[in-house]
Structure 1
Amino acid sequence: MKTILVNLESSAALDATLACAIGVAREFGSYLEGLHVRPVQPDVIAAGADGFIAAAPDLVAGFETDARERAERLRDTFERTVRAAGLPRFSEPGTTGPAADWHLGAGAAANVLGSYGRIFDLIVLGRPVADSLTPSTASLEGALFEAGRLLMIVPARATNFRMERILISWNGSTETAHTIGLAMPFLERAKSIIVHSVEKGMVPGPSGEALGRMLERRGLTVEVVDHPGDDRPVGKVTLDEAQRLGADIIVKGAYTQSRLRQMIFGGATSYILSNVEVPVLMAH
């Protein structure tokens, strides 16, 4: 985890997102880059009886001013926070160990994150919440489906970064196996790992016990918990058990079922993304 990209949006999760990104950078001695993506304003804003209506110059100027001021506020917050955490600017002579820098992108945030994020080991984003435009669900999904990297999704309450006890939400799937591979640096540093399975959420694949044995062969301390399931959704069982077992982080493969199916019928990934209160490591 030597290169970390943290997506910066004005939201209730900003402080927690930065705290977790800095916590990971300190743990791994990483380079941390703060990214804010400025939207590109369209040349037209509406369609009338005579076709498209061009935006008035003062309206375009207002959009640009708002976008510039938002970017400046986020940059100030990022630089102030990493300075307080003792992370030097990457460009400073003699910089070793954890360091930070800033990058301003332009365009659709989902596209920028999905493309630019491919060169980082980890992308840190805030957890979207209902009835709020930020943190952006589109940005999260762009990074998840297009970057091909490990994501850390941070809820607003997760301001105290810890990684001593990690729960793997195992369902036997390719997606979760891929996520575990990417998350191995976290697992190797954890004091204990819980391999947690919910019987009705399993797909054809190895059991939780089999995964636990393989992790133990790597010298990791592993506890296997197989839950028979009940009338609660699989995602809720996972979160309830993660809280009961004291997990600091959850590792979860994203969208074993199709995203469309989960949007219509619900699913473990959708439930966890909507309700989790500890950081989640995800990949697809």
Structure 2
Amino acid sequence: MAIRKILLPLAGVASARAALGTALMLGARWRAHVHALHVRTDTRDVAPLAGEGLSGAMIEEMMATTEKEGNTEARALSALFDAETAAHGIAVGAPVRDASGAVGQASAWFSSIVGREEELIASEARLSDLIVVPHPKSAEEVASADALHAVLFDSGRPALIAPVEPAEMIGSRIAIAWNGTAESASAVASVLPWLSGAQQVRIFHSNDYQRQGPAADQLASYLELHGIAADITEFRAIDRSAGAGLLAAVTEFGADLLAMGAYSHSRLRQLILGGVTRHVLEHARLAVLMNR
């Protein structure tokens, strides 16, 4: 299935540049419509967080400050959006269709709305083919990670974590992290549209990573049915970290896109004990396509 709609949640300028460049590059590649979405905090949600002991005037001042900061951020993001779309030659507006009604070229639109970020992003993501999110480490903004988790846990759609720095190409050398789980199978389904155009595809597996389910050679046979030739590499954990071993092997391969399942174990377990998903989120520099 071709990618026709890309959602790009934007929290702040510090984390937006690489993600916006990534989304627009992919929009041009797929002739897709990119919706850049900024969610401003609803000032009515600020009052309950203020706690007791604050006067009405103090709460009103906090609400006014929150609204002002949100509007300032929205203007800055809109200016960045205008500059980046112009630089990429992307039409701004509704999807552009040819005489037959088919989408003929890439387009993009920026909107800034008020609401609860996680709820709105998850809702918008459900009718998007791909959600590009800023890398959680690209800024100190917690919202980048919140957007990612909203997509992974409440949309049923794939999340593409943008690289920390803008990339010239994504999808020429594709790595697939395989451990036999439903999450990794979902990642394979999402990356299928990319594989036919890749120069090389490699499946990465490890005894330290494998769960109950099909083995890597079975995945390779499945991809052959789709006309995709993929080789197989076994990686080893580094200092008992399967995530570190995976990233080292993927880096050596020279991948510009890693497709993998997310949170095969619970998110709470990964926060406490660590895990492959957590390690990749904290240390990956390349684009990562994640599914849950």
Q: TM-score, normalised by structure 1?
A: 0.92
Deviates more, 1:245-254 or 1:214-223: 214-223
Aligned residues: 282
Whether 1:73 aligns to 2:81 is no
Please list every run of 5 or more consecutive structure 2 residues that lacks an aligned counterpart in the other structure: 99-103
Q: Quote the residue 2:51 is aligned against.
A: 47
Q: Quote the residue 1:7 is aligned against.
A: 9
Whether 1:82 aligns to 2:85 is yes
Q: Of 217, 222, 225, which residue of structure 1 is paired with 2:225?
A: 217
Deviates more, 1:254-263 or 1:52-61: 52-61
Tell me the SS of whatever aligns to 2:8.
strand
Instruction: Map 1:199-218 onto structure 2 (within 5 A).
Output: 199-218=207-226
Whether 1:181 aligns to 2:189 is yes
Distance 1:94 1:146, change over 3 A: closer
Distance 1:200 1:36, change over 3 A: same
Q: Of 190, 199, 205, which residue of structure 2 is paired with 1:197?
A: 205
Q: Does the Cα contact within 8 Å between 1:126 and 1:135 map onto a contact in 2?
A: no
Q: Which amino acid aligns with 2:230?
A: V
Q: Quote the residue 1:32 is aligned against.
A: 34
Q: Of 167, 171, 187, which residue of structure 2 is paired with 1:163?
A: 171
Distance in 2 between the 1:254 and 1:164 partners? 22
Tell me the SS of whatever aligns to 1:277.
coil
Whether 1:256 aligns to 2:264 is yes
Distance 1:158 1:43, change over 3 A: closer
Q: Of 136, 147, 150, which residue of structure 2 is paired with 1:142?
A: 150
Distance in 2 between the 1:199 and 1:158 partners? 33
Q: Of 94, 102, 122, which residue of structure 1 is paired with 2:110?
A: 102
Q: Which amino acid aligns with 2:71?
A: R
Distance in 1 between the 2:205 and 2:142 partners? 32
Q: Does the Cα contact within 8 Å between 1:208 and 1:226 map onto a contact in 2?
A: no
Q: Does the Cα contact within 8 Å between 1:31 and 1:90 map onto a contact in 2?
A: no
- Please give the root-mean-square deviation of Cα atoms over the aligned residues, in Å: 2.1
Tell me the SS of whatever aligns to 1:199.
coil
Tell me the SS of whatever aligns to 1:200.
coil
Tell me the SS of whatever aligns to 1:166.
strand
Q: Which amino acid aligns with 1:263?
A: L
Q: Does the Cα contact within 8 Å between 1:153 and 1:279 map onto a contact in 2?
A: yes
Distance in 2 between the 1:132 and 1:37 partners? 17
Aligned-residue offset at 1:74: 0.3
Q: Which amino acid aligns with 2:191?
A: A
Aligned-residue offset at 1:5: 0.6
Q: TM-score, normalised by structure 2?
A: 0.90
Following TM superposition, where does structure 1 have runs of at least 4 consecutive aligned residues deviating by more than 4 angstroms? Answer: 92-95
Deviates more, 1:236-245 or 1:128-137: 128-137
Tell me the SS of whatever aligns to 1:119.
coil
Q: Does the Cα contact within 8 Å between 1:29 and 1:98 map onto a contact in 2?
A: yes
Distance in 1 between the 2:207 and 2:96 partners? 54
Distance in 1 between the 2:236 and 2:73 partners? 48
Distance 1:192 1:271, change over 3 A: same
Distance in 2 between the 1:131 and 1:22 partners? 20
Q: Quote the residue 2:23 is aligned against.
A: 21
Aligned-residue offset at 1:46: 2.7
Aligned-residue offset at 1:93: 7.4
Aligned-residue offset at 1:135: 5.0
Q: Does the Cα contact within 8 Å between 2:15 and 2:134 map onto a contact in 1?
A: yes
Distance 1:230 1:278, change over 3 A: closer
Q: Quote the residue 2:121 is aligned against.
A: 113
Distance 1:161 1:13, change over 3 A: farther
Q: Does the Cα contact within 8 Å between 1:153 and 1:281 map onto a contact in 2?
A: yes
